[in-house]
Amino acid sequence: MHMRHWRNRYLLFLDLILVPLAIYAGLLLRLEQFTVAPFSTGFFSFSALATVLTTLLIYQGRLYRQHWGYASLGELLRLGRAVTLALVLATLLQLLAASLQPLFALPRSLPFIALPLVLGAILSSRLLLRLFLRRARPTASLAHEHKVLIMGAGAAGALMVRELQGNPQLGKTIVGLLDDNPQLHGMAIHGVWVLGDRSAIPRLVETHHVQQVIIAMPRASGKAIRSIMSICADAGVETLTMPGLYELLDGKTQVSQIRHVEITDLLRRDPVETDLESVRQLITGEVVLVTGGGGSIGSELCRQIVRCHPAELIILGHGENSVFEIQQELQRLVSQQANGPKIRAVIADIRDGQRIHSLMWRYRPSLVFHAAAHKHVPLMELNPIEAVSNNILGTRNLLDAAMNMGVERFVMISSDKAVNPTSVMGATKRIAEMLVHQAAAMSKRPFVAVRFGNVLGSRGSVILTFKRQIAEGGPITITDPEMQRYFMTIPEAVQLVLQAAVLGKQGEVFLLDMGDPVKIVDLARDMLRLSGLEEGRDIDIVYTGLRPGEKLFEELFTKNERYCATSHKKVFIAERASSSEQEHLFDLITQLEQGVQLDNEPALLHTISELVPEYQPPQPLLAPHQPKIVPILASKRSG
């Protein structure tokens, strides 16, 4: 039989002995003598009742199956309730028996004396077993044991202490806790003392030969993490951390999981406070369509939308592999829910207007989140035809179908590069915003656009590029030492997109609070430090010059827009001062469509500059040579 079952059998035998012994001790205390002869019948009957009821209720509560090496206060409280109830029932039965037969009489004060003694005996046996089992666990060899400090003495820090104490095989000995709150200094949490604030790290590292500092602060800002990292680096100690708040939201990670500090931790911002109830009311029971559903933003939109229980989620994308992956992930999630939403994967190109109209007619979504777009700035400079056909004409197709099929709410994912654009990609996004604004004016529905900056970890992200360059041994390439960008995490961006969808009235362009801009070169140096490398010694940073369409700084508003707050502190409106830019929109969109059909890039870029005067196309291009198309089969037949 398994050792645990033997231990639990021993506990049953022990209880059969401890309960009558505790009652006997109580009766001796009450009588103040070593003989119980006057009450022997009552003693034996009460002891038998209490022992049987105690073991029966403990068994009924499945507490004989509890592994006491991992027991917590909750199990002890359940055990205490079972013992107390058993003594109360035994007392009532004993009083009933004594009323029928005086031989069963006992001193009335005995149950009050016996209860704490029985409780003490039963609980003490479990506590002693817990201590024995914890000491008997295999420990890591001293050669692999690490002395650690835990930065953060809040709930997360306390949980980390319990995790490390309960798993000695991890090979981590806790030297102490640290916290910047001076009121916690000198206190003990699970037997571990709070030894000071972050400034105490160098002294404690030297005094106790600490090898690791675990940052147990899931809600800490990136500035705080960066400061602690810097202190630890100067002290020559490794830094680990717990997952941040956004990692915990998706349910894939737990607070107790430890990992190395990542670049997202250093850029961590204050948590977003989302009105989840209003988002649920918007989505629950509705048919929702997400374009670009296989992409970084689109897939996260799908994840968060599914949690709001729509009736049906349609994942529309052009890349079959990415759409398949997110569909399979969501199917696994939905299979664990009762009455989960239908998940449909649709492969389609938003540039195919007829196909998009057909899909809208078939599925009749009430909400559309439009995340499909070409976003790579230098690549779109080389392929403006594709940028226009996808970002502008594809958006027009979706808006036409949405208006014709009665879509109630349309949200387009835009970009901060749409502000005073210097690139084709930014200009096409700006024109797409105009189309959304015009569609809202025509339909009188909440069709809106949401602008935000770069997202960490998205495809084509500078973070992934730097990781690849570091893995290859360098160099890290940066276009300019002064280049700055705004960064957000993908879950944060999507949370705010959903919030903006709730706030939308008619044609607004929302802007998300992206915090402070970050220098790209600082990002690269942080990633080098996190990799244990040093600039110049291990890997060089090389400046290559601005690429076509790039800007040193991203802007938030155009000269014709003004800043306007909303009811959410992290969502703003880029309110237009004038709508004159919309006057000839449809005529110019028709010209763009003709330029795409004729593969005429110069005409295309000229039309873009008419729509977005801030955009200045490169030097005039020669009209592309149009090869003469000869119908081969016809020419053969004619021959």
Q: Are 10 and 1 in contact (CB under 8 A)?
A: no
Structure tokens given for 597: 């059909």
Task: Give the per-residue pLDDT at 402.
Answer: 94
User: Percentage of the chain surpassing pLDDT 90?
Assistant: 19
Q: What is the mean pLDDT of residues 37-41?
A: 76
CA distance 407 to 51: 70
Give the 3-state secondary structure of residue 352.
Answer: coil
Distances (CA, A) of 220 to 180, 275, 540, 625: 12, 21, 31, 58
Neighbouring C-alpha atoms within 13 Å toward the C-beta of 331? 10
Task: Give the per-residue pLDDT at 255.
Answer: 44
pLDDT: is 489 or 85 the higher one?
Answer: 85
Mean pLDDT of the chain: 79
H/E run at residue 488: strand 487-489
CA distance 119 to 79: 9
Identify the DSSP state of 272. Answer: P
Give the 3-state secondary structure of residue 556.
Answer: coil
The total of other beta-carbon atoms located within 10 Å of residue 221's CB is: 16
Peptide bond into 20 cis (omega under 30): no
476-513 tens-digit pLDDT: 888 888 888 777 778 878 888 888 888 888 778 887 77
Spell out the domain ranges in the chain.
3-136, 142-266, 280-602+607-611
Give the 3-state secondary structure of residue 173.
Answer: strand
Neighbouring C-alpha atoms within 13 Å toward the C-beta of 637? 5
What does the chain come to in residues? 639
pLDDT: is 584 or 608 the higher one?
Answer: 608
pLDDT: is 75 or 83 the higher one?
Answer: 83
**Range of lowest pLDDT (6-20, 61-75, 215-229, 307-321):** 61-75
Neighbouring C-alpha atoms within 13 Å toward the C-beta of 339? 6
pLDDT above 50 for 6: no
Angle ∠(284,317,452) on CA atoms, nearest 5: 70
Q: Are 273 and 437 in contact (CB under 8 A)?
A: no
pTM to 2 decimal places: 0.64
pLDDT above 80 for 376: yes
Domains 142-266 and 280-602+607-611 share a fold: yes
pLDDT above 60 for 373: yes
Q: What is the mean pLDDT of residues 577-582?
A: 45
Task: Give the per-residue pLDDT at 639.
Answer: 38
Tell me which range, 244-258, 310-324, 453-467, 490-504, is most confidently predicted by mean pLDDT: 310-324
**Range of lowest pLDDT (109-123, 196-210, 508-522):** 508-522
pLDDT above 80 for 76: no
Tell me which range, 249-258, 554-563, 569-578, 613-622, is most confidently predicted by mean pLDDT: 613-622
120-155 tens-digit pLDDT: 888 777 777 666 655 555 444 444 578 889 888 888
CA distance 204 to 545: 45
pLDDT above 50 for 636: no
The total of other beta-carbon atoms located within 10 Å of residue 328's CB is: 12
CATH fold, domain 142-266, is Rossmann fold (3.40.50)
Task: Give the per-residue pLDDT at 184.
Answer: 87
**Range of lowest pLDDT (144-148, 346-350, 374-378):** 144-148
pLDDT: is 474 or 329 the higher one?
Answer: 329
Beta bridge pairs of residue 316: 291, 346
Long-range (24+ apart) CB contacts under 8 A made by 281-285 are 282/308, 282/367, 282/409, 282/498, 282/501, 282/502, 283/308, 283/309, 283/310, 283/367, 283/498, 284/308, 284/309, 284/310, 285/309, 285/310, 285/311
Strands 342-347 and 367-370: unpaired
Neighbouring C-alpha atoms within 13 Å toward the C-beta of 430? 28
User: Percentage of the chain surpassing pLDDT 70?
Assistant: 79
Angle ∠(250,253,254) on CA atoms, nearest 5: 120
pLDDT above 60 for 577: no
So what CATH class is 280-602+607-611? alpha beta
- The residue from 172, 375, 417, 551 that is catalytic is 417
The total of other beta-carbon atoms located within 10 Å of residue 613's CB is: 9
Q: Which residues contact 622 (CB under 8 A, 6 or more apart)?
A: 602
Burial of 461 (0-12, 13-18, 19+ CB in 10 A): middle
Give yes or no: 417 in active site.
yes
Task: Give the per-residue pLDDT at 139.
Answer: 47
CA distance 255 to 518: 28
Angle ∠(497,501,503) on CA atoms, nearest 5: 115
